[in-house]
Structure 1
């Protein structure tokens, strides 16, 4: 390699110098332009001005094609190295004349450098664009809802965890219980093993002590002695008296224990498998045998097992409790009415008879819960019997009280004995007294006579007509005593009479007598036309307001004063001091004269009325009349307020007239009751003779009832034995028709109502509504009990009463004004805690039940079964012919309803039965002869004499 002189500049300096020379020689070129082709001449800056082309090998080296041009060399390339630069410098020094070498080299180098600069610039631009896009993306608002999704995921997770916790609560409880049972079992096993080990150690110590006491055996040969010699040697070993007695007693006790165990296991054959294969009745009879009880008692005495109930007899109580474990394990479905947690725990403890005290404790707890339901049922039956006695105890003329007295007393004594046995004497007496007091308080809601008697009314003796006697016709009695409260009508004016009947608070005589026959404490309620009557009074007052404004108010004032005067005078007897006072205060001539001269004062008139009304009203009206009297004394100068006070005055006077009518009805009720059945017979016969009614609907109704009774009798007698007890009687056909008519789900049609029961239409409609309501609420509560695994016979009286009030007030459908739907309102009444899934399932069931109840078509199996059970129960009690059967049916009513799942509606069902019983009694007395006629025609026995419907 050629050496470089010290004066030679550095390669970088030479390169810079060559570039400057090229800039002076060559024009400016673009970095990306290709190197000139081979044929392009090279212009050299020499003195001669000639252009010398480079040699072919040099041109081929530097002037290459564009597509075959080599890529830029790396920093470590040979061309960029110092040796390459030095080689070129050396070569240039050798061939100084050829400057084209330098030009080509520097052109290519400049092109490479420029291309690199361009690529770096493009990369810088691209990096800046990426940075800008990243900055824009970072600064732009995020459109994702990550936070909402995270919150929703958290809520879903919490909900799922709550569901898992609620679902696993029962499993955790069960696992804890199993763990506790295992722990107790292991502890008992450890105690047993420890006791056995202590007994073994004691026995070993005893044998060791006895061995030491015996004489030391002589040394003998190693050959074992014969058996006879050994026995002989043992027999001749002397023993003291205590040791001999102890051995004999131990052998005797062991033999006795072995025989007791053999007698119990082999002799009796009592085991869980054997008990399960036997029938329940056979097992009950077997466990009640004296031999079984004695043997079991000996076994329990052997193991020193005592009863946990110290108040009971130790032997029999413990024995029966011990044997009940076999009965529970052998027939669990028959013993238990449900399969709850307490029942499962009792069965687990029954399998482990070694833990006897634990089993007895669990058995006592289950028996206590079961007995509480039985106590409530029997108390309800006791109260039902008391209600029947309160109804019939005053009927001494017909002998009904004597028939019922003995049967009710015997049934109540039996119930009282059972209740005291289960609940104890003190608690039983307290429960019965409380239940009877509550029942009588509900039934005794009417006010006493002193509260409803008007102050201006005379004594009962003076209020009756002078010619009234005990044998008087009820029609005359009703006309003379009650029609005084009705407005006077002109003779022959039929339209006025019909209008009077429409707006009168007092019903006609036939309805009055019938209502008294059904309920001897019947009182006239506010007329169903009271709203219409108030609207008419309001219209009259509005007309009077217009007349006063137009200057024609005098005739209106006189007419209103005359109306008020006539109504007030009807409340008192003629000749009474109050009668004279009212006539003097409301003097029509004086009022007419004052109105003609414009001197009439409404404020003075209202003040007089404020003084008169408190002297006429009954005590229970004091508050309402006092409030009106205060407003009347204040008066008003405005026409509008004056007319409003007048309207209120007319309304209160109508109420006082109604109170006076009830007072008169209370006085004449005994006379009307004595002739009620005869009066109804005469009225019904007159309607038949006049053609007002026929018996076509009664015949159709009786025919349907006969078919139903015959079908039921054939179903009970599949072998066609035709026993006399199964033959349908008139009483049974009538009871079937009455129950089918009253206990139904669809609305009552006029064509379905027989003519004989036309006056009881409102009662039948009310009973239909009550029956459907009982079925709906019973189905809801029964479903809730099953979902929550509660006892079916337990009484949810509070929930049932609240749901009853809701459905009675608002119906089955949700109203537009209510913000909460009807299923949600009913579901909120059930306060028992339940998981969300169970609550949702119960809500869907309630919605389905309410929809079916609203239409009256029961399609759900639960509602159909409950309604059929309710109907059968009512028919069983209504069809009872004798007093003894009625008492027995009433005694078993509570238990029957509890078994059917309607334990909360004992009072409502008792009311339905009582109402139907009274309807049957009154209807039979009034229309018995026509029922016999219809029965003969329907059954095709015209000439045959049938048994009378009412004896």
Structure 2
């Protein structure tokens, strides 16, 4: 409060500090704002909430402005004019108290207004949440209604489609029937027309023939005259040519005589030969000096082979010293720079000597030098990416490299230094080098021992000469060797060692690659679980989560570099595919709520062919990441060719659940179910011999066309492969696919413990590299074929072992002859490759057929019991429904039984009458029954009455059944009579039985009914011919007898 000069009060000034509502002190200090509203005001996430807070702040600022105006107005109103100079202090105090009371009331009112505003905002928020939930519920209900409507429409469309298909089939059947009738009428008309035309053509042909003969006679005379004229002209031309030839011969003889004279004159005019001899001597002197100078330079720079061998011998790395050294000492000696340089110089010199020795006799044996570039490429590590520190040096050296040999690829050394020294490491310390003692490790150790032995013999031969070879070798019976033969033996041992080393290295690299990929996948899964990542992306990652993600990315980069160093780009691709699979399975498990299991248990395992996917087969049968889990392929090429040879396996023949196989196979495998039922039916009917042995020839007549088509397709398939290999750029992808097919078939039939050896022996990576290099390496292909044949021999039965061994030896001899022929063209290689693969695939199909037969033989006792009948009964019920609906589901059977219902009683009466007549007249010689009316060919058989037949049928029944017929006789039941008469009518029909006309209950016995019908028709034809010939013979005899009688009467 301020006082004026006159002593009065001018007014009271109050300050209310304004702060933003976003500060946490004001919001928490008030205490009257609800907690949910205060939390929403503090957490500003969406633009809509920011806008509401700004509105609130604007309203509060306006309220504070109005409050200040009110305070100013109140202060002005409270100021009074001084009435008299005698203003007491007590009145001033009363006025200040009243002002404070009013200000306090105004403050209380402001707080109440603010509380009401906050309550209104809370109510608005609750209303908005309720409206939002109501809208969501309405949207869900609407979506469910639309889904039900769409499903009902789809079902109605499916029903309409089935009705349209049924109507279309009926129209097609009617049109087909009309077409058949019109074709029959047209055939009859055309036959008549052909007869008329043939007679007219015959008459015209006879007239034309007569006219042609006359023209031929005239033409003969005219041609004869022309021939005589031509002969005269030919004689004159011959005489003229003979004269011209003699003239040319004389001219040539004159020229030869002139040339002889000129040559003799030239020889006389040549200079003395002494000058030429002097020049040659001078040139030889100059060349000898050059040769001596080059030799001295060679001794100073590269040294001789003897010097290099002596330096290597000074290193002390041999079989005896290696075994006595410790592993660490041997490793340090091998890894030293001096050792590597000395051994490399010696091996390069041996490679040059081998190349020179092989080039000397290349004309006698062109294929003597084994090309192992595909193995050396497996030994060479892929190039690593240059680090930033080396970029300057690489740029400097890039120009030099491009100028020296930029366009020529780097030639691989035939004898890598480290691989050679590894042989001594394996020889001295095999336990430290190998992780296990498998077949590959044993073979590698043997080949390393042989290689080191040949290498040491070669070094000793260089140092001491070939005369010392007799006491160095442990076997005195071996003949002495020279340097060339020992070098060839050393190279042969090296090739064997390199091949086995590559196989061992590939296996080790695969296991290491599996561990690296598995570690990368596990890190990825743990990172995803820790950071709680979703398929939509990263949301609200904390600093720690980002650090974890960065560390995992760095570790995976290091693992990716190691995989690139081991397996190259293919290994990196497989690692990326495994990581993507792990992520997708993690997201699927998280969405479905199932427990998250590490999906890396099957990565690069031997059971999955993706671990050995070749670059040639990726385009057609991409491996695990693109098509193996999806191949599957596809119907395979060779399996589709040999599909008909494999016998169907009767799955699901258990009496308790005979329809489980059908339910498992589904409607798409209806043909397989039918084959199983046919097989069971044949086994039940043919009890006296093994059905499995007769399955190959059971339908020989009906499958003749299919067999011819299959043979044609087979030949076309192999011809296509041969043509693709004979092109300028051969396509070896199909060969790799066939070898993969052989490997997969062997792994399916072999036990699980053999699969690793099969995948190791048949390596598609090495095969694809051999094919792509263009090397006709029949030895490697022969190893694969030999392994496949030996595996098949182990899996086959002992009874067929001798025959398989003979056929295998014959095939290997033929392939060996083809390889030894040394044909430089591609034809022999293609022929040998196709012949070997085709033989192996055929043997695989034969083995599968034998396995199927063995399984069927094991099931025959079970099928011939009640289980087989129960299986057929339930299968028939599953196909045609319950017996109550038989009139609708079995229309052909109903029609077949109705066709014989009217005549069944008549035929039964004839049967009983014939039986009674035969029993009364020929009781002692009755051994069978005559056929009914439909099968009679003539003659008369007395028919008894109904009552008599019924009385006699029972007495004669026992005699009929004791004649050796095992089939039960008809007992007079109505259904039995109708079925028997229907079968007789079916088999006695003129037209052949077809699948469209046979009743549904007889579908399984279709082939048996056709055979019976064929036999019956043969009997009818033979009987008809017999009757006809008998009548002719009787007529001839009767005529002959009448003629004799007439002649006798005449005499």
Instruction: State the TM-score, normalized to the length of structure 2.
Output: 0.20
Q: Which has the larger radius of gyration?
A: 1
More relative contact order in 1 or in 2 (CA 8 Å, sep 6+)?
Answer: 1
Instruction: State the TM-score, normalized to the length of structure 1.
Output: 0.22
